[in-house]
Structure 1
Amino acid sequence: MTEFCVSDFLDMVYEDITGKFVSPLEFAGDQWEAYKAGRKKEIKCLLRLDYLEENYQEELHYSLLESKKPGGESTVVIEKYRVDRIRRLPLCVYMLRPGEWNGKAILYLNGHDPRGARGAFAEDDTGKETLGMAMASLGYLVLVPELFAFGEAKRRDASEETDACTSCSMLESHLLNCGLSLAGLRVFEAMKTLDFAEAAFGVHAFGAYGISGGGHVCNYTGVLEDRVEAVMLSGYPNLYKYSILAMDHCICNYVPGQLEAGESHQVTALAAPKKLLAMNGRKDPIFPLQGSLEAFQYLDSVYERLGVPERCTHILFEGGHEVSVGDVCRWLKVNY
């Protein structure tokens, strides 16, 4: 390594930005909601959500494309909808309808699964139960939007073999050049999915679950959306410092100016006092253990300051960058 290495500069910029940030830990009681409102406004600006709504939201229309039951003894019905709420961007939303609905709904935001949204409910070659189907079997109405660049929502010239990260790379450069980002568009899509669920099924309150890249979207959606009352983050709770700034990650994890809105765990903290589940695998190589432990401790401190420590749960399970179906379902049974 030469004396012209740029790493020191990068470290300095990170420390400069994070050093100026006013931590959520400095606010409690009557100050909390005002502080949070200011941060939420900054995040909406960062993601350009007001711009997207003003320029690209259209009147809601939706249609059922297909409905089927999976094999076996499951009573869950899988429905596929076309949702028109964003101009020239039809949204594919899968709905897992339980045999006996408990009256609650969950927004499921997937990550870079090669099956796209179908990864929430379609078995892979291991035959393990998927989390989406497990949630529906517990009685929850589960909504799974096909997020921008994943699954069927790729560019016209992308082949069927195009993997999710490659698809993100093909699209993010175009969006950035237009002042937009994949993260912002995906959060917007998540919000429009809730619009659809309200109109189609009369649901007005939701849980939100996100895994990996979907955790990034859920981190923002869970904070910004008043309709979300329980937030579940998996394969994601951490610090940028240890994860997306420490190693190569998909380009969709990066948003210009993102760090100025707070480190990842400081954004998560803005969900308080909503019920929060933060979980990671001990051996997750891309959202490492050290960052998870620091994030969990920080989140505990925020919820403690607000006087609602029982609303914050964190879990470290024996695994890697993966979904822990049993842990999520056990939490749901008790907390939502």
Structure 2
Amino acid sequence: MENQMKALLDTLYHAKTKQRRWNASDFLTGNTSFEVWRSSLLTTLKEALAFPSCPHDLKLTLSQAQMQPFGTLARMTYLSEEGLYTPAYLLTPHHVDESTPVILCLHGHGLGCKDIVGLCPQESYQKRFARKACEAGMIVVAPEMAGFGELRLPEELESGDAHQSSCHRLAMNLLACGRSLLGMRVNQAMRALDVMQQLYAGHPMGIMGISGGATVSVLTMALDQRLCAGVISGYANTFADSILAMRHCVDNYWPDMIGQMEMPDLLCTIAPRPMLWETGSQDPIYPQLAARKAADIVFHCYEQEHAETHFEVDAFKGGHEIHGERAFSFLKEYCTVS
């Protein structure tokens, strides 16, 4: 006998899909122009994420850089919104010139930004990718996303479990106040881009994220044209086959997302800028088969924009993890001074 609650959710999803305001097929079939379609979708997305107002002054603080095998490592803080100073790490390679790419690296669930810059004793599924990007010759900024590391609530900070996030209570309280945790994190990322521009004016900027950090990377890249290229690891998929098909953290959702778009529609808005996906064959929460299905739609979008060479998928044998086989060379190739 079919479970009535699952059947109800399926019915709601399909009903919302029929009412969906933005569908990639609208411009792929010539019913509207890509620019008009994308602009309209992104306007609604920005409203749905409920961004805070941002103070003009970043109030940037930067500690003295420490020498590392790859170059230097410094800690910084910046004001991402009133009341929230976001900590971050700045990694600088030995050789820097005006063409050196600056990459915003966004972590997923785990120990926070110190994990991806290599300050944790054991390597996680994130494989210290921010540090590896710097080792590949790129400047890196790695901010702490709200709900992780230092930016957790007292109950998680005092729990003794460094892996325990504050996502749930943050998301619920923000929702009750007309805000969203995703909007807070995307705003943190955009303010980090402001920092990058202030420190490295004129340098090309890119983005790379894994899992929840990839969610923020997609939204940031869609909404901020300053980013030249992006690597999306362990996320690109369909909502139906990933965050709606199984238990996921509450930080993945915003109100009426399915009434607005499916994930491939959102990913299409990044075209024609270069984008690489990483998807593991054994990823249990963002299945590779569904990633390939989404990639077919997004490829047609890039093809229509005469930019099919700007879209790549690294479908590798592995799980929910950074691969890195193509990621760093992709960013170096496409994050260039125009």
Fold conserved (TM > 0.5)? yes
Q: Which residue of 2 aligns with 1:125?
A: 122
Residues 237 and 291 in structure 2, CA contact (< 8 A), matched pair in contact too: yes
What runs of 5+ residues in structure 2 fail to find an aligned partner?
none
Measure, in 1, the Cα distance between the counterparts of 2:66 and 2:74: 7
Distance in 1, matches of 2:25 and 2:314, equals: 22
Distance 1:333 1:2 in 2: 50
List alignment gaps of at least 5 residues for structure 1.
none
Q: 1:260: Cα distance to partner?
A: 2.5
Q: Equivalents in 1 of 2:41, 2:203: separation in Å? A: 24
Verify the 8 A CA contact 1:130 1:325 in the aligned structure 2: no
Percent sequence identity over matched residues? 28
1:333 to partner: Cα distance: 4.1
Superposed displacement of residue 208, structure 1: 0.9
| 2:110 equivalent in structure 1 | 113
Contact 1:98 1:140 in 2 (8 A): yes
CA separation of 1:195 and 1:335: change in aligned 2, threshold 3 A: closer
Q: 1:126 to 1:188 in 2, by over 3 A?
A: closer
RMSD, aligned α-carbons: 2.2
Q: 2:82 aligns with which of 78, 81, 87?
A: 87
**What letter corresponds to residue 75 of structure 1 in structure 2?**
F
Question: More relative contact order in 1 or in 2 (CA 8 Å, sep 6+)?
Answer: 2
Q: 1: distance between equivalents of 2:222 and 2:164?
A: 25
Deviation at 1:103, TM superposition (A): 2.1
Of residues 13-22 and 126-135 in structure 1, the stretch that sits farther from structure 2 once superposed is: 126-135
CA distance in 1, matches of 2:136, 2:224: 24
Aligned-residue offset at 1:104: 1.3
Output the CA distance in 1 between the equivalents of 2:216 and 2:127.
Answer: 24
> Against the structure 1 CA distance between its residues 264 and 129, is the aligned structure 2 distance closer, same or farther, given a 3 Å change threshold?
closer
**2:33 counterpart letter in structure 1:** Q
- Separation in structure 1 between the aligned mates of residue 108 and residue 298 of structure 2, nearest angstrom: 23
Q: Secondary structure at the match of 2:155?
A: coil
Q: Deviations over 1:93-128 (max 9, x none)?
A: 2111111124211111110022x0012111543599
TM-score in terms of structure 1 length: 0.91
Alignment of 1:129-278 (within 5 A): 130-158=128-156, 159=158, 161-162=160-161, 166-203=165-202, 205-278=204-277
Would you say the 8 A contact 2:109–2:212 is kept in 1?
Answer: yes
Say if 2:233 and 2:322, in contact at 8 Å, map to a contact too.
yes
Tell me how many residue pairs correspond in the alignment: 327
Q: Please state how far the C-alpha of 1:18 moved relative to its aligned partner.
A: 1.6
1:210-269 CA distances to partner (integer Å, 9 max, x unpaired)? 110011111110100011121210000101111111110111112121222311121011
Counterpart-to-counterpart distance in 2, 1:305 and 1:261: 22
